[in-house]
Chains A and B, each alone.
Chain A
Amino acid sequence: MRAARSRVILTPEHVEIRLEPAALGRRFIALVADLVLVLAATSLVVRFAEALLPGALGTIVRALALLALSWGYHVYFEVRHQGQSPGKRMVGIRVVDGRGLPLSVEQSFVRNVVRVLDALPLGYALGAVACFLDPLGRRLGDLAAGTLVVRESTPPASDRRAGRARAFNSLRTPRLIRMARHRVSLEEREFLAELCLRADGLDERARLGLMEEVGGHYRARLGIDDPHLSGESLVRDLTAVLFC
């Protein structure tokens, strides 16, 4: 799978807002949750229709109600609740217009009509393939309606790890803090943050080697002469100093 890219919107205030496409797994969980709710509501409607309106009229009313429920559920919530059906709210994703605005009735209607195609041949297989191939993770319905499913930005736990105040941080001295903030450029800070976030995914030897190399560079650059501080500790401490 290609890494999902984010879409950047320039607001009239000249601020760039990034829309992060929602991951397929979250979307699938939301879908299943919504499906359970629709099925529950459906069975309620059937019960009530049988009890209140027996006979031919009841059959027609029931069929119409089911039709309205299965097509209208998503449209109602997407339009009335800022692009969030209950399932989407549960997993923290929402549908928005391609320009980051709330989606309109017509967009919601069309993206949910194309659902019949996305659901083919079984269990949303076609929609999932479309999500994999599209850089913004859009299913066919999203493509047709010009919409996008985005992740609500709750920063994941791992993001905090990079800048977490480390308990025994020997670099947290006024002199070093000042020097680090003065001498480490923005690009370098981004690099350090990324390195700390992604280090855990590396093979142990590769990680230690890389950390020693980067640590050695900053040891010389900032004049840190603590021989007991490993390269990895130095990099993590320095990142913590820069970000907290």
Chain B
Amino acid sequence: MDVERFVRERRGRWSRFEALLQATEHLPDHEMGAARLLELVRLYRQTCSDLNEARSGTANAALLARLNGLAGRGYRIVYRRSPGRRFAEEARRFFATGAPAAFRRERGSVLAAAGAFLLGALVGFGAVLADPANAERLVPPQFYSESPRARVERIEASAERVGSLEEASEFSSFLFSHNIQVSFLAFSLGALTLVGGAWLLFYNGTLLGAIAAAYLRDGVSVFFVAWVGPHGALELPAIVFGAAAGFRLGRALLLPGALSTGAAVRRALPSVWRMLLLTAIVLVAAGLVEGSFSQMSARTIPYPAKIAVAALLFAGLLGWLFGWRTGEEAA
């Protein structure tokens, strides 16, 4: 093969292809225009055939790398998926149908994650009911510095913990940023190891169960429910959801079954990313509640009212995701 001639004859169309790629790579198909699109496809096919010819005729690394790169860039455009809808439309569909449908589809993973968390909670709860000293063994000292009753009395006697709106917003912002970070970490661990995610859920369940039992033993369980309930009604499901998304992806990665790993992952991703996005959104809401409403004592809002709000939030979240079906989705 005469490489010099080969390059001389085709150099023009390669440059044209490169310029066309440069100009159109980030345009959606409809903005590209039919003429340019057709030219792009034609040049792509020619470049592919040039690459094949060059591979069989020369070992010139520079030439092969150039053609390989051009063909690869063309391939990405010619075989890409059609670009998505507009952002507002996409967002509306996400809340109306996308997220609930993803959760219903993956309810097995959600149940598994909830099971791991509840099992931990039961173990923690039982251990502390059986022997109160277990509370100090299970719960790290920074969360357990005084007896629950003493703590409740101190909080109810002193001024409101979060005094101003400014303080509440600072605290809320910190909470949701931090919680999102942590739940994404839990997701990642679950996705790559499965066991790591299950252990994190179990451990956090144990902590919550142990603390709940300690408050129950001290006779201040109403305070506990009113304090943890309003944000917990959102935050705890969100933690479970994030971990469930991890389980779903982990199953695809580690136990793909008859599919190739890549195919299993591609099949899982549409549900997984919706579950994750919803986790983050719910955690923002939970953070806002935790930074303000949850911290208010009985003097500002009576405990039964706080517990009622908690129940409403919990039922609303689960009802939205798992309960009713909208007409659009059924169709």
Contact = CB atoms under 8 A, between A and B. Distances in A.
Contacts of A101: 75-76, 79-81
Interface stretch (A102-110, A205-213, A229-237): A102-110
B192 A140 contact: yes
Interface string A183-223: 00010011001000100000000000000000000000000
A190 B59 CA distance: 5
Nearest to B287: A63
A114 B68 contact: no
Contacts of A100: 72, 75-76
A60 B288 contact: yes
B206 interface: no
Contact of B273 (A99, A102, A105): A105
A243 interface: yes
B285 to A, nearest CB: 12
Say which size band chain B's interface belongs to: 35 or more
A227 B84 CA distance: 69
B157 interface: no
A104 B268 CA distance: 13
B188 A140 contact: yes
A91 interface: no
Given A110-B272, A146-B266, A155 B76 contact: no
B35 interface: no
Interface stretch (B109-117, B126-134, B168-176, B232-240): B168-176
B62 A116 contact: no
Contacts of A41: none
Interface string A79-122: 01110000000000000101111101111011001101100000
Best-surrounded residue of B3, B60, B177 (most CB of chain A within 10 A): B60
A186 B161 CA distance: 79
Chain A residues touching B, majority SS: helix
A155 B61 contact: yes
A57 interface: yes
Given A63-B176, A80-B26, A106-B273, A18 B249 contact: no
A153 B65 contact: yes
A74 interface: no
Nearest to A118: B188
B276 interface: yes
B99 to A, nearest CB: 13
B277 interface: yes
Contacts of B280: 67, 71
B313 to A, nearest CB: 19
B269 A82 contact: no
Interface string A134-156: 00000011011110000011110
B123 interface: no
Contact of B173 (A63, A143, A153): A63
Contacts of A105: 84, 273
A102 B173 contact: no
Given A63-B176, A109-B273, A11 B48 contact: yes
Interface in B27-71: 45, 48-49, 51-52, 55-62, 65-66, 68-69, 71
B218 interface: no
A224 interface: no
Contacts of A190: 59
B177 A63 contact: yes
Contact of B180 (A67, A143, A145): A67
Contact of A117 (B57, B189, B262): B189
- Most chain A CB inside 10 Å of its own CB: which residue of B58, B164, B188, B192: B188
Contact of A56 (B61, B71, B169, B184): B169
B72 A117 contact: no
A131 to B, nearest CB: 15
Contacts of B65: 153, 155, 159
A109 B277 CA distance: 9
Nearest to B1: A181
Contacts of A19: 72
Contact of A102 (B76, B184, B187, B269): B76
A159 B62 contact: yes
Given A110-B269, A113-B276, A243 B60 contact: yes
A160 to B, nearest CB: 6
A174 interface: no
Given A116-B184, A146-B266, A67 B177 contact: yes
Nearest to A151: B69
Given A9-B75, A18-B72, A163-B60, 11 more contacts: A55-B166, A63-B176, A101-B76, A101-B79, A106-B273, A109-B273, A114-B192, A116-B184, A146-B265, A160-B62, A193-B61
Q: Which 5 A-B pairs have the closest CB atoms?
A: A153-B69, A63-B173, A117-B188, A106-B273, A56-B169
14 contacts: A13-B45, A14-B52, A15-B49, A15-B52, A55-B166, A60-B169, A81-B26, A82-B25, A100-B75, A106-B272, A113-B187, A145-B265, A155-B62, A243-B59
